Structure 1
Amino acid sequence: MDTSRATEITDLIQRLGSQIPIETELLVLVDQALTHISTGRTRNLERLEFLGDAVLRLAATEFIDRYYSDLAVGACSNLRAQLVSDRWLADVGATLAIEKHLLLGRHAQGDRSAQSRLRADATEALIGAIYASFGNLEAIHRWLTPHWHSTARAVLATPHQFNGKTALQEWSQGQALGLPHYFTEECSHKHGDPDRFLCQVSIQDQVLGEGKGRSRKEAEQNAATAALKALDKGYET
């Protein structure tokens, strides 16, 4: 790693929290987290993204247990889904302008439609890198807790805006149209693939929306959100 790259990564780490010690091992891991698979390099973000996925879910669970211990389990699950979502990860990455620090192959550089996914993947890999360097969740919590507080307040204040399935079900039942039907298929077996599952949601055999996700639940939520947007433009029975 050359001096300019080390300086760039150091600046990024310092924006995560002033209490994170800058060590050589951390610099190497963060550099790996910011190296996309498309570069063809052996040391890339894939393994750290896999680790970051698990670390993020555990840290988010601890956050909810610490600050929202009175929430019912179902509400905790719904809240956590928002605190670990691709959209949330992309938003956190945007606060760091993380895409400016990514090493990308030529194909990925030209795909502007994938910028949100690239931010989410890199942010998740960055979480994995920090955990791998320190072996605990302290630095993760210091970095992410302010972001989680902001998201949690928004989710709990307007839960239907963050739970497309619930809102769609309430709409369909209110219209006496029965329950929405979700058809989900697995399109790949790659862990962390944002397009791994594809879901279509229909009401009375009319497809209203579709969505993709890393899990069946995420794909269903995205499909329901797409359906609600379609309903805002008008629904024909």
Structure 2
Amino acid sequence: MQNVGERRSDELKRFLSQLGVEGLYTISDLSLIDEALTHTSARLNKNHERLEFLGDAVLRLACSEYIDREHPDLPVGKRSELRAQLVSDQWLAELGASIEIETILLTGTHARRDNNARHTLRAEAAEALIGALYLQPNGLEQVHAWLTPHWKQRSMAVLARPDLFNSKSALQEWSQAQKLGLPSYETGEHNLHHGDPCRFRSCVRIGNLITSEGFGRSRKEAEQQAAQAALQALKEL
């Protein structure tokens, strides 16, 4: 518990206990948890970036193990599609929101007041926390213990209605079945506000049949939204 004050230490322990992690295994270095939950905007002598980088790799590994264990008969292509949903920034942001990670996250005043940045803050902090847990004793088991219930819930939804979570794939399958070729996307920045849900704008075209647009925090999200709008338009034809 080096470099963690008594008050912060107690706060972190209470937070971890709500995740169902503390007590299952030993948190040997609480300073790593503190580092993960300290954003760069706080301008302290530590921040989340190193552990976020590690957490990204751990998340993909743990998720791959989860899918292999829980869905052994799923084809490789479908496994990749499912994993993409279970490690996405959107899923990480929702995970962060579900555990109220902002209540324990140290940030600067500007970042704390920027509503557009909340999605990104939650996702980054959740990923950094995964990295910090991995560095504890039995780290990968701790990650599985925390994330498996969340993955099970999302997996059921994705496998039941994949079109709701990967609209681009659904639109591509439809256009190819209709012999219309591949959808084409034109995507660019709509504004320069980091974290803005309308930062990127994407327009999708399927031949001369349909044109739809969507917005998102990233190019990928904007294209998914455009594809979803196109699918909705097709239903109304």
In 1, the alpha carbon distance for the partners of 2:76 and 2:234 equals: 35
- 1:35-74 to structure 2, matched below 5 A, reads 35-74=38-77
Q: In structure 2, what is the equivalent of residue 165 of structure 1?
A: 168
In the superposition, relative to structure 1, how do residues 16 and 220 fare at CA in structure 2: closer, same or farther (>3 Å)?
same
Q: What is the identity, as a one-letter code, of the residue corresponding to 1:21?
A: T
Per the TM alignment, residue 229 of structure 1 is displaced from its structure 2 partner at its CA by: 3.2
Tell me: CA distance 1:221–1:175, structure 2 relative to 1, closer, same or farther (3 Å).
Answer: farther
Residue 153 of structure 1 and its aligned partner are, at CA, apart by 0.9
Q: Deviations over 1:90-145 (max 9, x none)?
A: 22212211111111112101101221211111000000001122364111011111
Structure 1 CA distance, aligned partners of 2:230 and 2:40?
35
2: distance between equivalents of 1:184 and 1:230? 15
Deviating more after overlay: 35-44 vs 161-170: 161-170
- Please list, as runs of the form range in 1=range in 2, the aligned pairs for 1:119-130 lying within 5 A after superposition: 119-130=122-133
Aligned residue identity for 2:37: L
Which amino acid in the other structure matches residue 228 of structure 2? L
* 8 Å contact from structure 1 (residues 200, 220) kept in 2: no
Letter of the 2:229 counterpart: K
Paired with 1:38 and 1:116, the residues of 2 have a C-alpha distance of: 15
Shift of 1:223: 1.1
* Aligned residue type for 2:119: S
The answer (yes or no) to whether the contact 2:26–2:137 under 8 Å persists in 1 is no
Asked if structure 1 preserves the Cα contact closer than 8 Å seen for 2:201 and 2:213, the reply is no
Alignment of structure 1 residues 87-106 onto 2, 5 Å = 87-106=90-109
Q: Which residue of 1 aligns with 2:213?
A: 208
Counterpart residue number, 1:225: 225
Deviations 1:125-176 (A, max 9, x none): 0000011223641110111111111111111111111111122224555777
What is the identity percentage for the equivalent residue pairs of Structure 1 and Structure 2? 49
Q: Distance in 2 between matches of 1:30 and 1:136?
A: 12
Query: Secondary structure of 1:155's partner?
Result: helix
Q: In 1, are the aligned partners of 2:32 and 2:132 still within 8 Å (CA)?
A: yes
Corresponding residue of 1:131: 134
Q: If the length of structure 1 is used for normalisation, what is the TM-score?
A: 0.81
Gaps of 5+ in 2: none
- C-alpha separation in 2, matches of 1:53 and 1:150: 21
- CA–CA distance in structure 2, aligned partners of residues 234 and 159 of structure 1: 17
1:25-36 alignment runs, 5 A limit: 25=29, 27-36=30-39
Give the CA deviation at 1:81. 0.5
SS at match of 1:49: helix
User: Displacement of 1:209 after TM fit?
Assistant: 2.8
Question: Aligned equivalents of 1:4 and 1:74: distance in 2?
Answer: 48
| CA distance 1:210–1:92, change in 2 (3 Å) | closer
Secondary structure of the structure 1 residue equivalent to 2:136: helix
Q: State the match for 2:154 in structure 1.
A: 151
CA distance in 1, matches of 2:49, 2:220: 25
Q: Is the 8 A contact 2:86 2:154 kept in 1?
A: yes
TM-score (ref. length: structure 2): 0.81
| Structure 1 residues not aligned, in runs of 5+ | 187-192, 214-218
AA matched with 1:4? R
Contact 1:40 1:105 in 2 (8 A): yes
Q: Give the whole-Å Cα distance in 2 for the aligned partners of 1:199 and 1:134.
A: 44
The total of aligned residue pairs comes to 223
